[in-house]
Amino acid sequence: MPRIEPVPSDQLTPQARAMLEEGMAIGAYNDNTGQIPPSMRTLAWSTSTLRTAHARTLTDWRAGLLDPKLKELIRIRSAQVNGCANCAGAIKEDGVDGEAVACMIDMDFAAFTPREAAALRYVTRFGMDHHSVGDDDIRALQAEFSPSELVELIYYAGTMLGLHRMFHVLQVIEDGEPLIRFDPALVDAPMGAAQKIAAE
């Protein structure tokens, strides 16, 4: 069951709908269903949180030094490491296919370029045990990435791993009765207002 019920599509605030439709239009929120995914509709409980997440998405989606295909491979590998089959199966970038996804599941990085393989090995280690990342891991990345690219890669991988873990905690794609039901009066409501509404 979802821990917090995603905001129904027909109950999105105008601000939330505008942001989510913009993300859908550029392909950033595509989960291969053509619908706004439950993960993003869950964030719509808090317009401030959604605004922050959306701004980060617009910044990361096509900007920066890392090419879009590499970013997509990092995103998918992060989803795999975190056990998010839905995110791992939602391919959002040309040049990435089911065969590449299967190779990552098997940790067979030989099919990738040295640069891609280095990034995927790092994401795997970072996601499984960040305390085990050592100087040799950074040296391996340094052989393929400039310092600026390295910072971007580490930041992007950390962002993806954190988001996938957050959505796992929220159980956004689970079926069943949600732990916290949607109530439009509680969107953007602080605790005091929520308590007052619950008491009515």
DSSP string for 87-102? HHH---STT--HHHHH
pTM: 0.89
Whole-number pLDDT of residue 53 = 96
Side-chain half-sphere CA neighbours of 145 within 13 A: 25
In a domain, 51, yes or no: yes
Q: Which of 87, 92, 121 is nearest to 104 (CA)?
A: 121
Whole-number pLDDT of residue 92 = 83
In a domain, 21, yes or no: yes
What token pair was written down for 107?
A: 């940790």
Whole-number pLDDT of residue 175 = 86
What token pair was written down for 70?
A: 């590499």
Whole-number pLDDT of residue 84 = 81
Residues of the chain with pLDDT under 70: 199
Q: What range does the domain containing 133 cover? A: 9-183
Whole-number pLDDT of residue 151 = 97
Q: The CATH number of the domain where 172 resides is what?
A: 1.20.1290.10
Over the stretch 28-39, which tens digit does the pLDDT of each residue have? Answer: 898 778 899 999
Whole-number pLDDT of residue 149 = 98
